[in-house]
Structure 1
Amino acid sequence: MSETVIQHTFEAPNVFTQEELGWEAWLPPLPLEELTDRHYDGLVDRGRANSPYFRLLVRDPDILGARTRTDNDIFYNEKGGLTRALRELSATAASRTNGCIFCASVHSRFASHKSKRPEDVQRLLDEGTSARQDDPQWRAVIDASVALTRIPDEFGPEHVRALRDAGLDDVAIIDAINGAAFFNWANRLMLSLGEPTPPAEKR
């Protein structure tokens, strides 16, 4: 039985960054020319066909479709609840905790852009989730996200109380929980299927 050996011409990033990284699958993504209408329905956004990650997941288009619609609702449905900046911060904190360099790079960029606070986001990446954050909402969202990510049983009434004391209502608190829970799973899926690659100009 023949074996496929993946030979890298790059050194995988090992530092958390806000740079735009690439990603390489350890299993073969579905080739673009093999995508059918059913696959594009599963991708939801046709532009995702350019991503090797989504072309790998689209081998099961029904599950990917459910996953993508859930992802979109968590991050883009802003009819009340948590602000987009705090949703991205929650995903960044989960990704930092799980060691998912690629996801952390994506969501830290969004958190920086939406909050206009790139230094605070970079401090989280550089020093970890326990790094100083003077904003009570940021502190509460980060702490709740970390607790849910490490061991869900660590999340308890004290985290809900901190979120509420920071001025978040019930819908915003549910958003924080959903975002962290989703990304705890999404990080682990991505970490098991491939690895980040350096920015294109550094390969």
Structure 2
Amino acid sequence: MTDTVIHPRIENRPNTFTQAEMGWTPWLEPLSEGELTERHWAGLVDASRSKSPYFMLLARDPGILEARTKTDKDIFYNTEAGLPRAERELSATAASRSNGCIFCASVHSRFASHHSKRTEEVQRLLDEGTGADLASRRWKAVVAASVALTATPPAFGAEQVDQLHKEGLDDLEIADVIHGAAFFNWANRLMLSLGEPTPAK
């Protein structure tokens, strides 16, 4: 990997949690499209991701990027069984809000709002934090479980699983809560260590 470090001057850098779209800029030099080999394109999985500086930075290790992207897609898009898409996105939003990742929280809160049609409740989570008094007990349980796992894996256990069961989630749905939170617990830390959000273009 190149050792070039970018120190961008960002005007109006986003500093609040929002469902609005925003950009992201890396602190290290991403690949350019002209540098991509067949292996890089395979690692991107979707050719459209070549427009993203985040994925073009991760493409420096195409094998890991490919595994990461396929895992991401399976967690959030394979909804034939298990948790509804809105609550998978809620889990990712809660993890991102807990970790302080403004960019990831904006993306997944938009998806949570889109799929649930509960925009105000999603915004309350962003505005007030993961302790927000959400109207739905089921959503409170999903958020609480996601936050416990995000803080440190041993903090998640029987208490959270029992509460999710009480709110009607079966074992497969609980696995989806865990997958969404665990994936973004990792993804937030990666994104926060490689760059920062920017205003939408």
The verdict on a shared fold, with TM-score over 0.5 as the criterion, is yes
| TM-score scaled by length of structure 2 | 0.96
Deviations 1:2-59 (A, max 9, x none): 9755231413211001010000000000001111111110000111110000000000
Which amino acid counterpart does residue 190 of structure 1 have in structure 2?
M
Contact 2:98–2:150 (CA under 8 A) maintained in structure 1: yes
Q: Do the aligned partners of 2:5 and 2:27 also contact (CA within 8 Å) in 1?
A: no
Shift of 1:165: 0.7
SS of residue paired to 2:95: helix
Change (3 A) 1:50 1:160: same
Aligned to 1:27, the other structure's residue is in SS state: coil
Percent of aligned positions that are identical: 65
The change in CA–CA distance for 1:60 and 1:124 in structure 2 (over 3 A counts) is same
- The superposition leaves residues 80-135 of structure 1 with CA deviations (integer Å, 9 ceiling, x where unpaired) of 10000000000000000000000000000000000000000000000001101121
Aligned to 2:79: 78
Tell me which residue corresponds to 1:181: 182
Alignment partners' CA distance in 2, 1:3 and 1:138:
43
Could you tell me whether the CA contact under 8 Å between 2:83 and 2:177 is conserved in 1? yes
Distance 1:35 1:12 in 2: 30
TM-fit CA distance, 1:198: 1.1
Partner residue in 2 for 1:147: 148
> The residue matched to 1:102 in structure 2 has which SS?
helix
Q: Which amino acid aligns with 1:121?
A: V
The TM-score normalised by the length of structure 1 is 0.95
Q: Distance in 2 between matches of 1:116 and 1:95?
A: 20
1:121-136 aligned within 5 A: 121-136=122-137
Farther-moved stretch of structure 1 (7-16 vs 106-115): 7-16
Give the 3 Å change call, closer, same or farther, for CA 134–58 of structure 1 in structure 2. Answer: same
- 1:88-167 matches, within 5 Å, as 88-167=89-168
Provide the rounded CA distance (Å) in 1 between the counterparts of 2:70 and 2:121.
Answer: 30
In structure 1, distance between residues paired with 2:57 and 2:179: 24
Contact 2:150 2:185 in 1 (8 A): yes
Structure 2's unaligned 5+ residue stretches are none
Q: Secondary structure at the match of 2:165?
A: helix
SS in 2 for 1:153: helix
SS in 2 for 1:59: coil
How much is the aligned-residue C-alpha RMSD, in angstroms? Answer: 1.3
Q: Residue 132 of structure 1: SS of its match in structure 2?
A: coil
DSSP 3-state at the match of 1:10? coil
Q: Distance in 2 between matches of 1:105 and 1:85?
A: 14
Q: CA deviation at 1:182?
A: 0.7
Secondary structure, counterpart of 2:197 in structure 1: strand
